């Protein structure tokens, strides 16, 4: 179970159920695999020798499928396999069984309920991968908070959320697309290099800008209808995370491709 303040797990056996909470930076996988480790530790103190450990995490059981720990595995995999081998050497028989959540297994339902109300903390080392993911999440959250206030930034209208935008296959196309997104192209900003006045579009006597050329200029309505099925379109629909398929065909048709 995972909440905003902590991650928790629970283990249910016939005569008792116990639950613990981990640091909030721990992943759900860490909680699930820690539960398996605690179950084996509980088994090691029992006089009975035959056990079945039911877990609702298929990924945890798959990570335990090899008796030879892999360096890329979760650090607790090695601990569990070591303890499992010790139990086998002591005459225990232990099977692992996947029990999907909410299928009516009494022990599993008890464990799920107990995990949600866990209050006892576990003192354990937080896996490095969990810390990295948690730190990345916090940084992205802080970045998003700052970006939310940048409403006057040209890119904010195109990309209101902090996220990765995949690159296109062609470096040249990527470069041209970036110029269109930030609004800095040869035909809109070349005048800055020469200290000249901003260029005006002679056909409509309007200030030259990416928004005007792509979205507003009525001289290109027919071309927009041809390529975008509308006389006026938003920059967001053209320059979004996945740019419009006909964007560069339109730019070429109005003789602006070489001026980007």
Q: Are residues 166 and 78 in the same domain?
A: no
Q: Are residues 50 and 87 in the same domain?
A: yes
| CB proximity list for 200: less than 8 A, separation 6 or greater | 206, 207, 208
Residues pairing with 50 in the sheet: 93
Q: Are residues 200 and 124 in the same domain?
A: no
pLDDT at 91 over 60: yes
Q: What is the pTM of this model?
A: 0.67
Q: 141 lies in a domain? A: no
Q: 140 lies in a domain? A: no
Q: List, for residues 5-44, the tens digit of each pLDDT value.
A: 678 888 888 778 888 888 888 899 999 999 999 999 999 9
Q: 150 lies in a domain? A: no
Q: Are residues 101 and 199 in the same domain?
A: no
- Mean pLDDT to the nearest integer, 163-175: 82
pLDDT at 107 over 60: no
Q: Are residues 108 and 169 in the same domain?
A: no
Q: Are residues 104 and 8 in the same domain?
A: yes
Boundary residue ending a domain (78, 96, 130): 130
pLDDT at 114 over 80: no
Q: Percent of the chain having pLDDT more than 90? A: 30
Q: List, for residues 32-77, the tens digit of each pLDDT value.
A: 999 999 999 999 988 899 999 988 889 999 888 865 656 667 889 9
* DSSP-derived 3-state class of residue 57: coil
Instruction: Give the orientation angle of helix 75-89 with respect to helix 28-44, to 10 degrees.
Output: 20
Q: 137 lies in a domain? A: no
Q: Are residues 86 and 199 in the same domain?
A: no
> Domain residues for 205?
156-254
**255 phi-psi bin (left φ>0, alpha ψ -120 to 50, beta other):** left
Q: Tally the domains of the chain.
A: 2
Boundary residue ending a domain (130, 164, 194): 130
Q: Are residues 36 and 113 in the same domain?
A: yes
Q: 148 lies in a domain? A: no
Q: Are residues 56 and 97 in the same domain?
A: yes
| CB proximity list for 224: less than 8 A, separation 6 or greater | 230, 231, 232, 233, 250
Q: Are residues 175 and 110 in the same domain?
A: no
E-only strand ranges, the chain: 6-13, 16-23, 50-55, 93-98, 200-201, 206-207
- Over the chain, what is the mean pLDDT? 84
User: The domain spanning residue 86 has which CATH number?
Assistant: 3.30.420.10
CA-to-CA distance for 149 and 143, rounded, in angstroms?
Answer: 10
pLDDT reported for residue 103: 58
Q: Are residues 31 and 107 in the same domain?
A: yes
């Amino acid at each position: 179970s995972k909440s905003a303040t902590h991650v928790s797990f629970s283990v249910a056996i016939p005569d008792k159920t116990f639950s613990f909470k981990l640091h909030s930076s721990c992943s759900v996988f860490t909680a699930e695999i820690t539960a398996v480790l605690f179950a084996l530790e509980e088994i090691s103190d029992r006089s009975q020798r035959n056990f079945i450990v039911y877990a609702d995490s298929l990924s945890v059981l798959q990570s335990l499928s090899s008796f030879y720990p892999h360096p890329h595995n979760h650090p607790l995999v090695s601990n569990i396999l070591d303890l499992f081998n010790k139990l086998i050497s002591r005459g225990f028989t232990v099977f692992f069984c996947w029990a999907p959540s909410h299928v009516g297994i009494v022990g599993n339902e008890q464990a799920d309920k107990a995990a949600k109300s866990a209050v006892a903390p576990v003192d354990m080392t937080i896996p490095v991968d969990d810390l990295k993911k948690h730190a990345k999440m916090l940084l992205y959250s802080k970045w998003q908070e700052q970006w939310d206030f940048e409403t006057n930034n040209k890119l904010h209208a195109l990309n209101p959320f902090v996220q990765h935008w995949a690159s296109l296959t062609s470096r040249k196309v990527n470069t041209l697309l970036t110029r269109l997104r930030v609004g800095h192209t040869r035909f809109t900003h070349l005048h800055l290099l020469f200290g000249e006045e901003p260029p005006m579009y002679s056909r409509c006597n309007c200030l030259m800008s990416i928004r005007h050329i792509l979205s507003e200029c009525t001289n290109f309505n027919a071309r927009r209808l041809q390529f975008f099925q509308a006389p006026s379109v938003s920059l967001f629909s053209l320059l979004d995370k996945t740019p419009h398929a006909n964007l560069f065909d339109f730019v070429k048709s109005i003789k602006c491709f070489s001026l980007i």
